[in-house]
Structures are given as C-alpha cells and as structure tokens.
Structure 1
Amino acid sequence: MAELLKLQQGVILRSQAYDCGVTPEQLRWLLNSNRWRRIHAGVYASFTGPLPFESQVWAAVLRAGRGAVASHRTAAYLDGVCDDPGDVIHVTVPADRHVGSRIDGVRVHYSRHVHRTRHPTRLPPRTRLEETVLDLVDSAPAASEVEAWVTRANQRRLTTPGRIAAALRLRKRIRWRAMLEGMLTDVAAGAHSPLELRHLRRVERAHGLPRGTRQRRVGERRASWIDVDYDEYRLRIELDGRIGHIEEGQFRDRRRDNRATVDGRTVLRYGHADIFGDPCGVAAEQACVLASRGWTGRIRPCGPGCTVAAA
C-alpha cells in the first residue's frame, strides 16, 4: 500500500485499500481519526493539509474509473503547455461507459479513442500532448484560442507541427479543421506566436507584400532571432508581445535595433494593437519602406473596406 500511495501521490481508492488488506473497520478508524480523509466517493487522501494539484488529478481519475485519463486544460498544465490549470479538473473516459453521479470540481468528457490517445507512461494518467492540443482546439470557442494553444505548444518546444498534423489525420471530426491544417503549415514555416501568424496572414499575404524570412538567426557570439527579415530590402520586422517590452527584453531589443541601424537596416516594430487592430495600416507602412528600398511590387487591398489605398 505504501508503494501504491507513493505512486498515486497519496491518494487511494477504497477497493485498492481493501486489496492491500485494510478492513472496513480499519478504514472507518483511519477516517474518524482524521489520518485519512475523503476526497470523492470511495476516494481518500492518506494525509491532511493542502491537496497538491497532482493529488487532485489522481483523485479525479480514480473516481472516474476504468480507463479514465486527465485531459484538456488539466493535461496541458501537467505537460507545461499552460501555466494555469483552471478551475476544474478535466478527465476523459471511454465512451462505452458512463460516470454515474456528478463529481465535484471535475468535468468529464467521453471519447471512443481514449485507448489510443492515452500517453503510455506518464503519471497521473493523461492524454498524449498532441491529443491534448487537439482536444483544446476542438473545444475552443474562438479562432484566437486555436492559435494560442497550437503556437504555445510549439513555442515551448513541447511538440512539432508535424506531430500535431499526424495526430490530426487520425481524427475524423474536429472543429476548426481547415484553419488548423493551414495554421500547422504556417507554424512549420517559422511563425511561432499568434502575433506572427496574424502578421503572416493579414499583413503580408493579404496585401501581396514580398515574403519575409521568419525566425532568422543573426550574429555569431551573441546570436539573436529576427521575427521577419526582408534581407533583399534591408528591412526587419519585430513583433513584440508584452514580454518583449519589459526588463531585460527591453534592453536586448534596443541593442539589436541599434546593431541593425549601424548595418544600414530599418527596423519596424509592432505589437498586438497594431497587427490585430490595424493590419491594413501596418501593410501600407511596410510597403512604403519596401518601395523606398527597391521593391517594385504593388500592394493590393485585402478586401472591401481595406484602407491601404488611402494610406
């Protein structure tokens, strides 16, 4: 029983305790003396005090029963895809059975393919990382969330676009499929954040601008990465989220921009408000700089109401 409790982060099923030799009378004594405590029906913690997150996950998985695994945001948190586990524990159980009563603090999902999507070794039991991302995409209420989950998993180097695409091919039905397939191609081309994807699609492609090189490494001893580099026209685009504007990031960006200026390059820097709020204005600004540096192409409106002509 000690080995089982260690494996399951101090959490145990009533049936497991009986299998280890605990009698019903002993179990009642452990609970009445506050040595153990009840978490869910038939699930107990063998310690007092705060319940660590992994112990909460074990309790939910054990309560959900045969074949249950942590999934969705819970699995994403366990694997480092996100930094906030959310307000409820998500578990997925085989679709051929039903979890009878409601489990406090737990949301139960059902899947016909949980035997395939379950990770073979990680504990607490959970879905494979690529399947976790696809589950989150399938339940995402908005396109921006789809972008965020996929790019975050790739940006943290937890998976690759190819592995997500391979998992996607095994799913017959999934929400946002068309967007996701195109997005995985973009991420594989070097766009690593929703901001970069938005620039690629809504600024560069939509307005007929030349294709830039993404995530280009520059420098030898102190290497840095350029978000979008139009090397032929000596123009660099830096796309900065919140992190890029604070503390060390602020000085790193300034040094990089200064080096670019010394080398005769122009650096245009944009944030979320620019790329999401005024992609047409950003495209017009970039086109002006590109034209001044030898680009002979012609910017085109992205659709009705596009402001590039006026700009």
Structure 2
Amino acid sequence: MDLDDLIAAQRGMVSRAQALAAGLTAARLRWLVESRRWRRVHAHTFATTTGPLTFEARVWAAILRVGHDAVASHRTAAVLDGLCDDAGPVIHVTAPAERHVRGKIDGVRVHYAHRLPLTRHPAASPPRTRLEETVLDLVDVASHPREAEGWVTAACQRRLTTPERLADALGRRKKIRWRPMTEAMLVDVAEGAQSPLELRHLRQVERAHGLPTSCRQRRVAGHRVIWIDVDYPEFAVRVELDGRVGHVGEGRFRDRRRDNRATVDGHATLRYGHADIFGNPCTVAAEHARVLRTRGWTGRPRSCGPSCPVPMIIKETGRQDAMPLS
C-alpha cells in the first residue's frame, strides 16, 4: 500500500515510521510539519489534514502512538461497534502485555492484555477488540453491578451478539470482575430479559416472591405485530416495563394503543418504570399477585426477606375482599 492509500485508510493519520518506510525523508517530514501542511497529534504521530479530527482519526492517532499490534478497546471499541453512543473524553487503547508505553499520552488511556492476539478483531478498521471481548472488558471495569448489566443487555438488545457467544468468551477468561453475576445474567438474557429493568423484574419481583413463570419479549401477531415485555398468558395478565427510550412522543402513543387493545381483548396490563422496579420491588410483586389471583392463580407469593411486606399485603387484601358490604 502506498503512502496516500495508507493515509486514507487511517483517516488522515500516519506515524513517523510509516512515512519513512514509504519513502519520505526525515527532512521532508520535518518540512511538512514546519510548513503546517501536517501537524503533530502525538509523539511521532501526525495528521495530514488541518481541520478538526474525526473520532476515528483520533482513534487511529492513539493506536499509532501506542504502537504495533495496539487496538482500540473498552468504551472506544464500544462506540466503533455501535454498542454505545458516548465515547467519553478518553480514547482507550490496549497493547500487548509485554510492551510498556513510556510517558503520558494526552487524551489516551493505555491498557495491557496477555491475550490480545486472541481477543483482537481479525479485520475491523480501526483495529479493535472483538465485540464480545469489548463487552467483557467493560464489565470488568464496571464500578457497579447495574453498569455491568447494562453493557451485557445493550449488546444483546442491539443484536450485536448473543448470550451464547458472550458466555463462550467469558469461559475463556481466567479472571474477570462480577463473574458469578455475569454468568447468571447471561442465562437470564437467553431467556428473554433484554434490559437491566427486565432483569431486575425477573429476579427481584418474579423469582424472589414466588410468582408464576412468565413469558418474556413475547411476539404477538395480529393486525399489527406487538411485543410484550412480560406476559402471563394463562391468566391474561401483561406487564410493560418502561425505560426512558422508546416511551416518549410517538412511543407513548404506541404504548397507549397497545394497552387499549389488550384491554379490549380481555387482558389486564400493569405498567412500571425504573423507580418502581428498583425502588419498590416488593410492592410491585404484591400488585402482580393481587391481579394474578383475581384471574385464576391459586398460588401464594412468598416473602423475599424479613422486612418484605408482600405476605401481609396479600393477607390484608384477602381480609378486605371477604368483608361483607354494608
């Protein structure tokens, strides 16, 4: 590849070593910089354009500065693969563990990995880690379990990978933070939970309180195809879990039409948001149990802990239902 093609492939970026290998002399390179036709971005790394650098150009500059075999990783790779939209203020690059990059690189954080030859994508440009490895890298550095959940569910919800592929990649890692939680979460995601909100409902509302097993992300075909977040078809009860995305503007009207259609068809629809599921899962479970019991469920919810109010709420509700009308 000649120098012009190389520069084009690297979004206008080139390293000193590449320029010299392509036939430029050191004097010519110095003149290009001094005449401001090129500009230094990092040590021995140059932009061949004078305008603002694009995100991919900044990524290439960081990779070239770190050196041979370096790849974009973590949040930077996540943006390149469409896993998230916010790149943050820092470009993340991973280098082979045997290399040590001297000095601080402005706007760049360097990570090191022993397994980099196995985890880098074989063909992506700019070079980066494989999608599954990127997700697990982000899980590993997550400061909170909910953040780790968010990366896994986002990757599956955006159809960038599958729980099975993530589980396979996880099995090849010797050390990773949040491993037990991530292993359990991948099983749950494989069963249909597609967001931290849905995972929280599955674990802390349904399972923790002994409610019936629901169908998740159920596709219902009719005049228009709809998706049900949580469905108890035996009892004609549906639960919609509303995150912020997709439930404003036109999304809100779609929700209303869906709920109205369900009511006409004889279904009861319960709707909850983050504050309900994360803040009051026991109260949500009690509401589920009340509606399910009025529609034929003969089971009884159980307490999830010493302070869980669910059994008492159900007991009081049953007592009120049994009171004669005055």
**Contact 1:137 / 1:146 at 8 angstroms: preserved in 2?**
yes
Q: Which has the larger radius of gyration?
A: 2
Counterparts in 2 of 1:149-228, with a 5 A limit? 149-228=151-230
Q: Which moved more, 1:299-308 or 1:127-136?
A: 299-308
Partner of 2:68: 66
Q: How many Å separate the matches in 1 of 2:231 and 2:246? A: 18
Q: 2:17 aligns with which of 15, 18, 29?
A: 15
Quick check: 1:259 aligned with 2:261? Answer: yes
Q: How many Å separate the matches in 2 of 1:227 and 1:169? A: 29
Q: How many Å separate the matches in 2 of 1:16 and 1:23? A: 11
Deviations 1:260-308 (A, max 9, x none): 1011110000000000000000000000000111111111111121121
Counterparts in 2 of 1:36-47, with a 5 A limit? 36-47=38-49
**Contact 1:240 / 1:271 at 8 angstroms: preserved in 2?**
yes
Any gaps of 5 or more consecutive residues in structure 2? 314-326
What amino acid maps onto 1:163 in structure 2? R
Q: How many Å separate the matches in 2 of 1:304 and 1:97? A: 53
> SS of the residue aligned with 2:292?
helix
Q: 1:289 aligns with which of 288, 291, 295?
A: 291
Partner of 1:6: 8
**Contact 1:244 / 1:253 at 8 angstroms: preserved in 2?**
no
Q: How many Å separate the matches in 2 of 1:304 and 1:182? A: 25
Partner of 1:86: 88
Deviation at 1:242, TM superposition (A): 1.2
Q: How many Å separate the matches in 1 of 2:67 and 2:281? A: 50
Deviation at 1:15, TM superposition (A): 1.0
> SS of the residue aligned with 2:310?
coil
Q: How many Å separate the matches in 2 of 1:215 and 1:114? A: 36
TM-score (norm 2): 0.94
Quick check: 1:143 aligned with 2:141? Answer: no
TM-score (norm 1): 0.99
What amino acid maps onto 1:6 in structure 2? A
Deviations 1:206-246 (A, max 9, x none): 00000010011112341010001101111000000112431
Counterparts in 2 of 1:47-58, with a 5 A limit? 47-58=49-60
What amino acid maps onto 2:48 in structure 1? S
Q: How many Å separate the matches in 1 of 2:220 and 2:15? A: 56
Q: How many Å separate the matches in 2 of 1:121 and 1:27? A: 30
Partner of 1:97: 99
What amino acid maps onto 1:71 in structure 2? S
Deviations 1:183-226 (A, max 9, x none): 00000000001100000000000000000100111123410100
Partner of 1:35: 37
> SS of the residue aligned with 1:91?
strand
Q: How many Å separate the matches in 2 of 1:85 and 1:207? A: 39
Deviation at 1:100, TM superposition (A): 1.2
What amino acid maps onto 2:100 in structure 1? H
> Matched residue pairs, number?
311
Q: How many Å separate the matches in 1 of 2:258 and 2:78? A: 34
Q: Percent identity?
A: 66
> SS of the residue aligned with 2:245?
helix
Partner of 1:249: 251
Q: How many Å separate the matches in 2 of 1:80 and 1:200? A: 27
Alignment RMSD, CA only?
Answer: 0.8
What amino acid maps onto 1:24 in structure 2? A
Q: How many Å separate the matches in 2 of 1:225 and 1:57? A: 38
Q: List, as ranges, runs of 4+ consecutive aligned residues in structure 1 with deviation greater than 6 Å.
A: none
Deviation at 1:92, TM superposition (A): 0.5
Deviation at 1:5, TM superposition (A): 0.3
Q: How many Å separate the matches in 2 of 1:295 and 1:272? A: 26
Deviation at 1:61, TM superposition (A): 0.5
